[in-house]
Structure 1
Amino acid sequence: MTQETKKFADFNLRPELLRALERKGFETPMPVQVCVLEDETLIESDIIVQAKTGSGKTLAFALPLINALDFKTREPQIIVLSPTRELAQQTAREFAWLGSESGVRVATLVGGLDMERQIRSLRDGANVVVGTPGRILDHVRRGTFKTSSIHSIVLDEGDHMLDMGFHDEMEAILQSMDNVERTWLFSATIPPEVMSLARQYLNAPKKISLVSDITSHEDITQKAYIIPSRRRFEGLTNVLIWEAPSRALIFCGTRAETQDISDKLCDIGFKATAIHGDMSQRERNTALGALRGGRVGILVATDVAARGLDIDAVSHVIQFGLPQNLESFVHRSGRTGRAGHEGSNMLLLTAREAKQFKFMASNAGSKMKMEWIPTPDALEIEGQARIRFEKTLIEHALGSDEFQSWAENLLTRDEALMLVSGLLAKAYGDQPSGYSIKADVEAELNREKSRNDKGRQGPVPSGKRPSEGRKESSARPNMGGGLIVQFSEGKSDGWEVGALLGLMCRCIGVGREDVGNIKLRDNSASIELSERGAVLFESRKDRLEKEGLNVTSARKIESRPHDYHDQRDGGKPRSESRGPHRDRKPSGTRERDSDRPKRRRITK
């Protein structure tokens, strides 16, 4: 019997489990479930399972573990560690319905919910405990959760738990359990940190991998749209109108940007809401309920806030900006194309970010098929909108001949053209329109191509010093009149140069060209900003503090280091040779009225 024809009934499962699966309409197991269920020796082993998000891994560990439960004892026997409240609650619900006939009792231990209620669920004889590392460890240290009877541990989305800084909590929990018979690790990616944890706490684990290339997914269409760096929001708007997603999840880099994008989308007629770490649990639940109930069609989220979310039928994942790494890209894209459904994953990148992402993917040996497309312009959107509208008209006409005789009469009259024109004005007037950004995209693509061509010109001519060659190939604007901003966070707080640069650009609203040297130390960091960046920094620095970057000082830059070279060579400082310096006001973020869409739009 081949893997494709396997049924749940073909495995040695309790009748109660089979009946629960049948009630849910589950007959054929997914590949990861087959891999775990068909090898009955795995129940006696530690295992590492690498499988994509949405591949059915919860049932893959819940079925065999419930099947091996001792229902005579009323003590916890299985513990599942999850990175987020939402994923823990989702997993607990899966255990509850799956074990409903078997007498399975589940205790959910997560932050933000009543501690006394959780203690009662443990005292009532829970044999399965699901929760987040922080709250579980809290119960262990309080003595309200006794771990001596635990024989099975599941580390669900182990890579995410380590990404979120739960390493110490996970170690403390694992060290508190002395009678563990099996530890199962499930993860979409296996970075070095996950392997280090596995070597320490798993005993000769068997490995199951259903992922040959973490970036490939047969049910997900991959697209990358090139957007202008100075008009990123307009690019996002055009993509949303063009793609017309039924339910979309937009990923942003920071909490401030998440709220900002959500508010702007609502202002122009989209039904959107945000979810991020600054929101209370009630606010998060309200946002999720609005999406699931169809009251909004777009959820704008940070990586951390979206982890573990179980949202059905997400048609589009939109990654707004460069992902922090390829693992982040994979986890984001895994929110669509789940459980056999098709989905679209889209990257919205500037020309510079596109080059960085291509290098990231190539460096990881990815064979992902990505379609690279300039963001649709207003004229293209208008053309597509007309085609969609005409298609809708034809579908209505084919569905009913109620107005056919009237239409025939109208077309015979002298004013037929005016009647049709008035009908279109009345019915089509509220269709979505976009922004004119084609020239901006083409200009940035040409600049990037020119930059690449210079990089391929070969060695510096013999008549020039090496430093001069570097200036020509990668010239930087003068930071004179700008600021050196000092922060109290550094490497020990998990910051990297790329993350600092991206956060600064997004929060302050500057481009890469407005950022100079970035110096990252263990316990501090400093970033140079241009004169324009300095002006914007003064009015928007509170956004950085909301993202965990605390400013300790800001010092004015009088001149750049190369100015001193000019003086040493006998020349004048650049500020003198250029004559009086004129104050430049920062360019506004709002477009001119002529650039705005002409019609207000109401979209999904």
Structure 2
Amino acid sequence: MSFSLTSPPLARALADRNYSEPTPVQSAVLEDRARGRDLLVSSQTGSGKTIAYGLAIGETLLGSAEKLGPAAEPLALIIAPTRELALQVQRELAWLYAQTGARVISCVGGMDPRREAMLLDEGAHIVVGTPGRLRDHIERRRLDVSALKAVVLDEADEMLDLGFRDDLEFILKTTPEGRRSLLFSATFPKAIVQLAQSYQRDALRIEVEAARSGHADIAYKAVRVYPKEAELAVVNLLRFHDAPVALVFCNTRNAVRHLEAILLERGFAAVALSGELGQNERNAALQALRDGRARVCVATDVAARGIDLPGLDLVIHAELPNDSEVMQHRSGRTGRAGKKGTSVLLVPQSRRRKAERLLMEGRVEAEWIGPPTADEIRALDQERMLADPMLSGEIGEDDAKMIDALMAGREAREIAAALVRLYRARLPAGEEAGDPGFGHDERRPVRANEDYAAKRRPFGAGREEGEAGERPRKQAGPRGDTVWFRLDIGRKQGADPRQLLPMLCRRGRITRDEVGAIRIFDRETKVEIDADIADRFYEAAKVPDRDKITIEPAEAAERRPAKAFGDKPDRPAAPRKSWDSTEAAGEGAPRKRFPSKDGGDREQRGEDRKPYRPAGAPPRDDSRPRREDGKPAGGFKKPFASKGKPFAGRPERQDGGRPAGGGKPFGKGKPRRG
């Protein structure tokens, strides 16, 4: 099937771009029943809908003419939810209408409104913008919509979700009644249907069948990860797929900043996109991706809405989206215009049910796998190096002299080793990310068993303390002989184990399991490396790097782990403390004397002395019957005796009860009732 167009300029523009077969949504809007009518179209992201409504309004704007007239009041208005999508639509329509002489301008938030006002004064055929900025220009009478022939709402459901309903209704009310309206949305919620009924006339409803079964050109993969190893899995996925451009989605701005810093630390050319960035920063990041200066973009959902990047083959959901529509919008950044793409969801065990629900609601099937291993990445590196075009290029005259010089002084194996080192130096190192398996007997990380064994050790065994109370980080290894290395950065320079560990792994080409204790001092840091790979680590780490940290072997020091409690010798019991100081001082030693209240000294009371009694106290009554052990019989309780002063002036009753006539009269002298 080919494009059936009545406008030759648009047909030639498509042919120049090698557009030969229309997508389903493009074929639907070009049918005879859709010509000249209002349209309500349901189409997924990446299905070619920008070209679809560009072709649909072509006949309305051009008719049978080859060229458009001089630019004056706009003839078409395209409304998009985000700045990036609006700018992308402007670029697409610019080349599509290039041979018609159309002037396409954009009006989006974050850009200079005065410059946009100047462009509007100069005249335009098509205006593309965001709802808030377009409403502002209309209210300030900078944008005249009286001559509009067509209005397009791109991703209308997203605009309603972002709270642009009032702006959309204001814009649609100001447009002429006879204009044509095209509403494109991924789904048809109730709010979209109400908006269409209010501002469209006899609209033709089109639902593209491909939208019901998800993206046919996108391969979904669900990768099982441990919760604390999601970042490692992202690193391995980027290394494994080696996509020209990859997009990594996070749910929050903080997560975007954190993941971007990790990828930059490991040597990836990464940029970030989030709502906190200004428009110039976002444009610079997107331009770096288009120019090839960056290959990884870490973004939030809103910032990445509508992004179309050439060569985007891989989308990674570092954090699961909230619903299936967001998942499809994210995944729709790849697999566009008939190209193949891959969408990867990172799924911890606690989020497995949510991932299954998202896939079921999105009506897509995913392959459940574990994260790529370091061995698999190294095997792919070997294949890619052997297939590198640099190995099969022609030899120039200048190159021949250098080749002869190298071959004269070194063996072929040494030259090949240098080539391998240079090739790997430009690649980030793979990480050791395990596969939890979700209850299946599949590959598990070694350190999981080692952590369990470490917990079974006696308390204090194998534990060391660094200087100034610095504890080495908790880890499973290394075990056996180790070698210490010194770094010329310390606590005063802001050294942090969380930053030093990935730097050591990257520069030394090792894994974090081969790094032992990290001791941070004031002006230096000492790191423990497994002795088996110490030489290889030093050869790679001594090469100067962008972090400008010097790594060199430390002075040899014997590692002396703390002993377990069971290995320590028995200590003699501490002497029993007693009031009698002669027990510790020895027999016949003089007793210690203590100051008394009257200023004199008194001896410490020992076990052979009688209890202390104040001077002048009456003799103790010992007439009570006693038991064989000398203690009074019947316990120590004395018979009850009333305390305090007797009631003065009150005659006692003869029966020993309360005083006769005691107390005040009832009611304080008032006569009693009754």
TM bracket (short chain) = 0.5 to 0.7
* Residues 233 and 371, structure 2, Cα contact 8 Å, conserved in 1: yes
Distance 1:292 1:424, change over 3 A: closer
State the one-letter code of the partner of 1:31.
P
* Residues 275 and 300, structure 1, Cα contact 8 Å, conserved in 2: yes
* Residues 435 and 596, structure 1, Cα contact 8 Å, conserved in 2: no
Measure the CA separation in 2 of the matches of 1:20 and 1:212: 26
How far has the Cα of 1:205 moved from its partner? 2.0
Q: Partner of 1:126 in structure 2?
A: 124
Q: Is 1:369 equivalent to 2:365 in the alignment?
A: yes
* Residues 43 and 211, structure 2, Cα contact 8 Å, conserved in 1: no
> Which among 418, 427, 433 is matched to residue 437 of structure 1?
433
Q: Partner of 2:76 in structure 1?
A: 78
Deviates more, 1:25-34 or 1:170-179: 25-34
Measure the CA separation in 2 of the matches of 1:424 and 1:103: 53
Q: Partner of 1:87 in structure 2?
A: 85
Distance 1:326 1:215, change over 3 A: farther
Q: Partner of 1:595 in structure 2?
A: 512
How far has the Cα of 1:146 moved from its partner? 2.7
Distance 1:178 1:417, change over 3 A: closer
Give TM-score, length-normalised by structure 1.
Answer: 0.65
CA deviations on 1:91-146 (whole Å, 9 max, x unpaired) are: 22333333334342334221222223322333333232211000011112112223
Q: Partner of 1:261 in structure 2?
A: 259
Q: Partner of 2:24 in structure 1?
A: 31
* Residues 273 and 285, structure 2, Cα contact 8 Å, conserved in 1: yes
State the one-letter code of the partner of 1:369.
E
CA deviations on 1:521-553 (whole Å, 9 max, x unpaired) are: xxxxxxxxxxxxxxxxxxxxxxxxxxxxxxxxx
How far has the Cα of 1:290 moved from its partner? 0.9
1:467-506 alignment, distance < 5 Å? none
How far has the Cα of 1:295 moved from its partner? 0.7
> Which among 61, 69, 83 is matched to residue 61 of structure 2?
69
Greater helix content: 1
* Residues 227 and 348, structure 2, Cα contact 8 Å, conserved in 1: yes
1:167-186 alignment, distance < 5 Å? 167-186=165-184
* Residues 215 and 330, structure 1, Cα contact 8 Å, conserved in 2: no
How far has the Cα of 1:56 moved from its partner? 1.9
* Residues 351 and 448, structure 1, Cα contact 8 Å, conserved in 2: no
How far has the Cα of 1:174 moved from its partner? 1.5
How far has the Cα of 1:31 moved from its partner? 2.8
1:158-557 alignment, distance < 5 Å? 158-214=156-212, 216-362=214-360, 364=361, 366-389=362-385, 396=391, 426=421, 430=425, 432-438=428-434, 441-442=435-436, 445-446=438-439
Distance 1:360 1:27, change over 3 A: closer
Q: Is 1:11 equivalent to 2:9 in the alignment?
A: no
Distance 1:76 1:272, change over 3 A: same
Distance 1:77 1:589, change over 3 A: same
Distance 1:199 1:418, change over 3 A: same
* Residues 48 and 184, structure 1, Cα contact 8 Å, conserved in 2: yes
* Residues 147 and 177, structure 1, Cα contact 8 Å, conserved in 2: yes
CA deviations on 1:354-403 (whole Å, 9 max, x unpaired) are: 321102333x2x4412111111233443444445446669x947999x99
1:119-158 alignment, distance < 5 Å? 119-158=117-156
How far has the Cα of 1:244 moved from its partner? 1.8
Distance 1:421 1:58, change over 3 A: closer
Distance 1:322 1:418, change over 3 A: same
Secondary structure in 2 aligned to 1:195? helix
CA deviations on 1:156-193 (whole Å, 9 max, x unpaired) are: 11122122221221122112224243221112333343
Q: Partner of 1:492 in structure 2?
A: none
How far has the Cα of 1:323 moved from its partner? 0.8
Distance 1:437 1:125, change over 3 A: closer
State, as a whole percentage, how many aligned pairs show the same letter. 35
Secondary structure in 1 aligned to 2:240? helix
How far has the Cα of 1:333 moved from its partner? 0.7
Measure the CA separation in 1 of the matches of 2:298 and 2:498: 24
State the one-letter code of the partner of 1:227.
V
Distance 1:420 1:331, change over 3 A: same
Structure 1: gaps of 5 or more residues: 450-586
Secondary structure in 2 aligned to 1:222? strand
State the one-letter code of the partner of 2:367.
E
Q: Partner of 2:572 in structure 1?
A: none
How far has the Cα of 1:204 moved from its partner? 3.4
State the one-letter code of the partner of 2:39.
I
Q: Is 1:53 equivalent to 2:45 in the alignment?
A: yes
How far has the Cα of 1:54 moved from its partner? 2.2
> Which among 102, 105, 108 is matched to residue 103 of structure 2?
105
State the one-letter code of the partner of 2:27.
V
Secondary structure in 2 aligned to 1:304? coil
How far has the Cα of 1:292 moved from its partner? 0.6
State the one-letter code of the partner of 1:356.
K
Structure 2: gaps of 5 or more residues: 63-67, 443-496, 505-510, 515-536, 546-674
State the one-letter code of the partner of 2:5.
F
Measure the CA separation in 2 of the matches of 1:286 and 1:57: 26
Give TM-score, length-normalised by structure 2.
Answer: 0.59
State the one-letter code of the partner of 2:358.
M
Measure the CA separation in 1 of the matches of 2:306 and 2:421: 45
Secondary structure in 2 aligned to 1:223? strand
State the one-letter code of the partner of 1:184.
L
Measure the CA separation in 1 of the matches of 2:123 and 2:412: 77
Measure the CA separation in 1 of the matches of 2:100 and 2:421: 61
Q: Is 1:44 equivalent to 2:36 in the alignment?
A: yes
* Residues 78 and 129, structure 2, Cα contact 8 Å, conserved in 1: yes
* Residues 74 and 126, structure 2, Cα contact 8 Å, conserved in 1: yes
Secondary structure in 1 aligned to 2:73? coil
State the one-letter code of the partner of 1:381.
I
How far has the Cα of 1:237 moved from its partner? 1.2
* Residues 224 and 372, structure 1, Cα contact 8 Å, conserved in 2: yes
Matched length: 442
Measure the CA separation in 2 of the matches of 1:159 and 1:277: 20
How far has the Cα of 1:195 moved from its partner? 2.9
* Residues 148 and 179, structure 1, Cα contact 8 Å, conserved in 2: no
Distance 1:116 1:277, change over 3 A: same
Measure the CA separation in 1 of the matches of 2:220 and 2:347: 13
* Residues 109 and 129, structure 1, Cα contact 8 Å, conserved in 2: yes
Deviates more, 1:15-24 or 1:164-173: 15-24
